[in-house]
Amino acid sequence: MTYTQPLGYRLPASQSLPSLSRALERFGWPLWRTEVLRAVSTVSAELLASHGDHGSVYRKWSHDQISESDLVLSHVSDGSIVYRAAEFLDIGHSLMHRMSALPLPVKLDLRCRAQLMDDPGDPERQWTYVLFGTEHQRLEDAFLQLRGIEVYALTVEDDILQDHESDPLWSARSVVWDRVLAPYTRSSPLSISAPEPQVTFDIGESLYYTHMDDEFQAQGKTTVTAVVKEVSRMLGDQAPGDLLEQLTAPIKS
């Protein structure tokens, strides 16, 4: 399971797409926001441990595609470690829209998408077929819990890991998937995607309105309080007593 190599599913066509979108918003995206928090906290912890060599962290996590000079907002505002981590994550996801870009490592790759297709060979339109891609098992598990979803595995002729002989329905699924995917060789199907990370705005707001973190968290935003708590959990006994101050202190560019 990856974002670029999605898994195959189907659900009854009676399940409307708006209801599927609402279900993902209710059950899937809260888990996605947890992954956003973990990603920001991971970069924050690495920046903290770098003893000021932030550039090495950006190069490591971006495969040398992002440098310190790319964090324009952080330089203008003398952004703290947690602010720089947030901006790095946003820039990294913006970068992945480029065809030639290397994706961020799995821990930081927050992309998640369900692509929805009909079978043109089924006049009754009994099923909607879905390709679901993510780098996070928790999101796939949540997707499987949605009403009506069932695994309908993709069939790939040259996939040496597939044992066609032990899968008696392989040939039938192959015919169906060939029909379903055929119209999309030059265009993209309808899709429902996780929101774009906007962590820089969330963290900036949290740093400015320090008394409103509880309210921001209730709105599903990433807050400084949550990041400090998560970084402390990651570091365990190695977490410094002044962790909040170290993560939020302005850094002169």
Residue 144 — φ and ψ, nearest 5°?
-65, -20
Question: Which phi-psi region, left, alpha or beta, contains residue 8 (left: φ > 0; alpha: ψ -120 to 50)?
Answer: beta
Long-range own/partner contacts, residues 123-128 (CB < 8 A, 24 or more apart): 125/13, 126/12, 126/13, 127/10, 127/11, 127/12, 127/13, 127/152, 128/10, 128/11, 128/12, 128/13, 128/15, 128/17
Residue 15's nearest CA partner among 125, 155, 178 is: 125
pLDDT above 70 for 160 = no
> Based on the structure, what is the number of domains in the chain?
1
pLDDT above 80 for 131 = yes
CA count, 13 A, side-chain hemisphere, 1: 21
How much is the CA Rg of the chain, to the nearest whole Å? 21
> Tokens 């993709």 belong to which residue?
154
CA 151 – CA 129 distance, rounded (Å): 10
pLDDT bucket at 107, cuts 50 / 70 / 90: very high
What does the pLDDT average to over 124-143? 92
What does the pLDDT average to over 101-127? 93
Give the pLDDT score at 169.
82
Domain housing 41? 1-252
Percent of the chain at pLDDT above 70? 94
Give the pLDDT score at 159.
53
CB burial of residue 48 (10 Å; 0-12, 13-18, 19+): buried
pLDDT above 80 for 61 = yes
Residue 149's nearest CA partner among 126, 170, 177, 128 is: 128
Q: Which residues contact 202 (CB under 8 A, 6 or more apart)?
A: 86, 216, 221, 222, 223
What does the pLDDT average to over 204-218? 95
pLDDT above 50 for 210 = yes
State pTM to two decimals: 0.90
CA angle 21-23-24, nearest 5°?
65
Token pair for 141: 């598990």
Mean pLDDT, the chain, rounded, equals: 91
